[in-house]
Amino acid sequence: MTLKAKIKAGAESLGFVAVGFTNIKPLPGMQQYKDWIEKGQQAEMAYLASQRSLEARADAKQLLPSCQTVISLLSSYPPPADRRSAGIIGVEGRIAAYALQRDYHEVLSERLEKLAYLIKTLAEVEVQTYACVDSAPILEKSYAHKAGLGWIGRNSLLLHPDFGSWTFLSELLISLELEPDPPFEADGCGECQLCLRACPTQAILPDRTIDARRCLSYLTIENRGAIPVEFRKAVGDRIFGCDQCQSVCPVNKKVHQEPQQTAIEEFPDLVESFRLTAEEFKQKYRHTPVWRAKYTGFRRNLAIAIGNSGQKEFLPLLEGALLNESDPVVADAIEWALGELVQ
């Protein structure tokens, strides 16, 4: 076996479902990223527009000066459950499928550390590595596309022909020059525009990017302020993230994943969740992606979901919570929910 084949086999043994290799230049997608930033479609995620962010995304050597090869890796997760056959609508909220497992940052960082060690063991020369898991400033979808792992769909997500977009992307930058894989040439979306039509807030743009200012995933996770009033009804029962554009995708509908044990429930009780103290929230969600929303963001989302529930029996809960709420963003969401339920 070649070194490249041994690395791929090792990566698969660690749990990665697909592996691709590519060099660092040229990299398509950078101009589109700059245009996206210039339009302000990153919303309040100012770090995405920083000078370091732009420089690193344009050149992987900003992250690892000796970088010669980017190894793109996919890890899969099960699609969300069918809401019609799971959970009680109006009483339970919904958490995006990717967030139900242990925090993928922790899981993938451990896998990449083991892969880096394996590569250094296999190679006959000194190897430098740099691991990227989601938060690193790198155009991960562009590298994955260039490495042959799939195409970038209309909903902006990488689509693998077998695993769809129910995947996590990560990268290992290495100082070895390995033969690159051919890029993925086909566009599996064709003329399909189901995701564009299904997006609750029309956040998906024609150029296959997302206007974060309208995206429910951004608004319920990264957003630290109030969710704009015009999008609150669209939140529905979502209390963390949104899977809508993925759930309607024909490619994703063909994906079959064996059920996995989850770290948290997909449809948590709205009342029980809203009553969690800050410490209880930490104990339950600290090592899951839900922690990213923070306690106040989670309560904001819950209040809006309760307001969308149509359950008037929740009124006393909200009225009592409003009397003691010190956070203005959460208080605003509670007041909105009260207004929805008394109609």
Mean pLDDT, consecutive 10-residue stretches, the chain (343 aa), reads: 96 97 91 96 95 94 97 95 63 96 95 97 95 94 97 97 96 97 95 97 97 98 98 97 97 83 93 97 97 98 97 96 96 98 90
Q: What angle do CA 179, 184, 190 make, to 5 degrees?
A: 175
Beta bridge partner(s), residue 152:
158
Q: Are residues 292 and 158 in the same domain?
A: no
Measured distance CA(162)–CA(188) in Å, rounded: 12
Give the tokens for residue 203. Answer: 């956040």
Q: What angle do CA 330, 332, 333 make, to 5 degrees?
A: 65
Look at residue 258 and tell me if it is in a domain. Answer: yes
Measured distance CA(322)–CA(343) in Å, rounded: 18
pLDDT for residue 259: 72
For residue 186, CA distances in Å to 55, 190, 195 come to: 29, 9, 19
Measured distance CA(230)–CA(195) in Å, rounded: 20
Q: Are residues 213 and 126 in the same domain?
A: no
Q: Are residues 111 and 209 in the same domain?
A: no
pLDDT for residue 82: 74
Does 82 qualify as catalytic in the annotation? no
Look at residue 25 and tell me if it is in a domain. Answer: yes
Chosen domain end from 146, 174, 202: 174
Query: What's the pTM?
Result: 0.94
Q: Are residues 261 and 336 in the same domain?
A: yes
Q: Are residues 153 and 11 in the same domain?
A: yes
Look at residue 51 and tell me if it is in a domain. Answer: yes
Q: Are 147 and 171 a contacting pair, CB within 8 Å?
A: no
Look at residue 92 and tell me if it is in a domain. Answer: no
For residue 57, CA distances in Å to 42, 137, 138, 140 come to: 15, 6, 5, 9
Beta bridge partner(s), residue 22:
70
Look at residue 180 and tell me if it is in a domain. Answer: no
Q: Are 235 and 216 a contacting pair, CB within 8 Å?
A: yes
Look at residue 31 and tell me if it is in a domain. Answer: yes
Q: In 158-195, which positions are buried (b, 16+ CB within 10 angstroms) versus exposed (e)?
A: bbbeebbbbbbbbbbbbbbebebbebbeeebbeeeebb
Q: Are 189 and 154 a contacting pair, CB within 8 Å?
A: yes
Report which of 223, 222, 229, 173 is spatially closest to residue 201, judged by C-alpha positions: 229
Q: Are residues 30 and 101 in the same domain?
A: yes
Q: Are residues 22 and 150 in the same domain?
A: yes
Chosen domain end from 141, 174, 207: 174
Measured distance CA(238)–CA(90) in Å, rounded: 11
Look at residue 336 and tell me if it is in a domain. Answer: yes
Measured distance CA(333)–CA(300) in Å, rounded: 6
Q: What angle do CA 294, 300, 301 make, to 5 degrees?
A: 90
Q: Are residues 38 and 115 in the same domain?
A: yes
Which residues constitute the domain of residue 52? 3-83+97-174
Give the tokens for residue 57. Answer: 């995304």
Look at residue 200 and tell me if it is in a domain. Answer: yes
Chosen domain end from 108, 141, 174: 174
Q: Are residues 280 and 219 in the same domain?
A: yes
- Structural domains in the chain (count): 2
| Active-site residue, selected from the candidate residues 59, 103, 134, 237 | 134
Q: In 142-154, which positions are buried (b, 16+ CB within 10 angstroms) versus exposed (e)?
A: bbbbbbbbbbbbb
Q: In 320-339, which positions are buried (b, 16+ CB within 10 angstroms) versus exposed (e)?
A: ebbeebeeebbbbbbebbbe
Report which of 184, 133, 142 is spatially closest to residue 24, judged by C-alpha positions: 142
Q: Are residues 258 and 330 in the same domain?
A: yes
Q: Are residues 169 and 239 in the same domain?
A: no
Q: Which residue has the tokens 């566009």?
A: 187
Q: Are residues 150 and 199 in the same domain?
A: no
